[in-house]
Chains A and B, each alone.
Chain A
Amino acid sequence: MTRADGWLLAAGALTLPLWLQSPYHLHVAIMAGIFGVLAMSLNLLLGYTGQLSLGHAAFFGIGAYTSALLTLKLDWSFWPALAVAVALAALAGFFIGRLALKLRGAYFVLVTISFAGVISLVSINWIELTNGPLGLPGVPAPALGPWSFRTKTAYYYLVLAACGLSYLVCRRLVMSRIGRALVALRENEPLAESVGVDVTHYLVLAAVVSAAMAGLGGSLYAHYTRFVSPEVFLFTYTVTMVIMVVAGGKGTLAGPVVGATLFTVLPEALRAAASWQWQMLAYGVLLVLLVFFLPRGIVPWLARVMAGSQAPAEPDSPTIRR
């Protein structure tokens, strides 16, 4: 993707509310943005360090509940609540990162699942705080001075800003020595250690940043739907994130954004044709098919197709910069 393409895309995203007249379409765009943040967050761990977290719904849920509780019970305004939500999610990420320091692969997956399981059970059972399965209605819409983000258009820009910020954070990280250290962990951990990369330090760092971003997504979700219940911890959310990242292209910057857009718009478009269960069934089958036929994801595949048509002599040069 060239710089011009990037500006074109940014211009498209900024003017989207002008093109999309129906509030429903805008709603889909907002959800795509929130899932974009979540997918980028998961990609930081899965795509770059190579560690699959199946507990990402926990960070998402922690962000959502923290933000909702602070605004509802302590009458905080949205912005400090958002900051604390992100910080608490980051703290949880630090905790998980330290916990799973020496665990890789399947064991890492299991610890993250278990963590999410425990947090989810707490949200159901700690009724005095969370109102249990009934959830917390009436989460207020954010406001900034005189402006309220009550309208869909306003909220769209809020989510877009969060998306842009997350993308920037990922991009800066990935294209630095920190990003190279993360990829080194994924590619060959003993070799990385041998040249002085403190692998565990960078794994914890990635977990913290990733969890913070998921917390950001959670807070945005809570103040958009105005309602938080233990359903935010549903495994479905984690699965959706995984599919978005794997389909879009793990370990690429654009992949999660492409995946999130595709897998928010597509299910909505197919809503009339297929029920939610059919879609989930299709997700499962799709994940299997992706592994078999497009293991690197859409973005690398597109990049290869485009490079092939323009300059066939150029050898496939996988670098960290994409």
Chain B
Amino acid sequence: MAELLQHLLNGLVLGGTYALLGIGLTLIFGLMNVVNFAHGEFYTLGAYVSFAALALAGIDFFAALVVAIVAGAALGWICEVLLLRPLRSESIDTTMLVMIGVWIAMQNAELLGWGGVAKSIPHPFPTAPLVLGPVAIAPLRLFVLVLAAALIAAAWLLTQKTKLGRAMRATFQDRDTAALMGVGIGRIHAATFAFGSGLAAAAGALLGPIFLVYPSMGDLASLKAFSVVILGGLGNLPGATLGGLLLGIAEELGAGYISSGYRDAVGFVIIILVLLLRPSGLFARQERIA
């Protein structure tokens, strides 16, 4: 029982960051109709920027986190303006190819810049785990869980309560009508892409100290983000949050009770099963046929 609770808690920590990854991707996918295969690279970027700020520039751990998020958002903005904006009227396949190109270019740029050797991000938290009844959690993991929850809440507030969020939702509902209503599609897309990329960078900077940082870490992150989006349904923010938590827990349970070698297969299997059985996502209501 204690073991199960421990797995659930670990799954929740992982799942929180998966949710961050998924929320960014689901917004980009749902709102811009762009399949962002470079999403995981922004995750990697966040981890490396945080590492660079901490280990090389000597900045404080928390400030490094902020720097990573800003860097991810800034590069996301540039990416949208330079590469996606000119292709807005093109098909989804065209932008997908471009983002695959960005993915490969970014990953190999990181490989060239940092080398293939994994780095570890130092953090100021004590290593002794906090014991809470039957379960134990490292203070760093607790911090990651709390911060992920805060960022998810911020994302929700942004889309629900701000003017930008309303414009984003209007664009998601109907791009043409939103444009007629005076919503600047260009700015909304850039903001969405920057926002999503910033969240991915945050996830990278948060998980970086727990795991190791290496150039190809984004590949799995991308796949996990896609599993989360598919679980939660396209453009569905609460769905992505729940999907992320579910994936994290499923992975922990799979690794704990089945085989750790197949931990990463959980995401793949989820993608295949959900697309086959419920293509609109687990949490979507019956979709309109048209």
Contacts and interface: CB of A to CB of B under 8 A. Distances in A.
Interface residues of A, number: 38
A118 B101 contact: no
B94 A242 contact: no
B58 interface: no
Contacts of B109: 281
Contact of A125 (B86, B108, B261, B275): B261
Main secondary structure of the interface of A (DSSP, over half): helix
A246 B272 contact: no
A288 B101 contact: yes
Contacts of B135: none
Given A111-B271, A115-B272, A284-B103, A52 B96 contact: yes
Interface stretch (A100-108, A156-164, A258-266): A100-108
Nearest to B230: A110
A119 to B, nearest CB: 9
Interface string B145-176: 00000000000000000000000000000000
B75 interface: no
A131 to B, nearest CB: 14
A169 interface: no
Contact of B272 (A114, A235, A285): A114
Contacts of B223: 113-114, 117
Given A118-B269, A125-B261, A106 B92 contact: yes
B203 to A, nearest CB: 20
Interface in A257-287: 277-278, 280-281, 283-287
A134 interface: no
Contacts of B267: 114, 117
B222 to A, nearest CB: 9
A74 to B, nearest CB: 26
Nearest to A127: B261
Nearest to A117: B268
Interface of B: 29, 35, 83, 86-87, 92-94, 96-98, 100-109, 111-112, 219, 223, 226, 230, 259, 261-262, 264-265, 267-269, 271-272, 275-276, 279
Given A113-B223, A114-B271, A287-B98, 12 more contacts: A106-B96, A110-B230, A111-B271, A114-B268, A117-B223, A242-B100, A281-B112, A284-B101, A284-B107, A286-B101, A291-B98, A292-B86
29 contacts: A52-B93, A54-B100, A103-B275, A105-B35, A106-B96, A107-B279, A113-B223, A113-B226, A113-B268, A114-B223, A114-B267, A117-B267, A117-B268, A118-B265, A121-B268, A125-B259, A242-B97, A277-B111, A277-B112, A278-B112, A281-B105, A281-B108, A283-B104, A284-B102, A284-B108, A287-B101, A288-B98, A288-B102, A291-B87
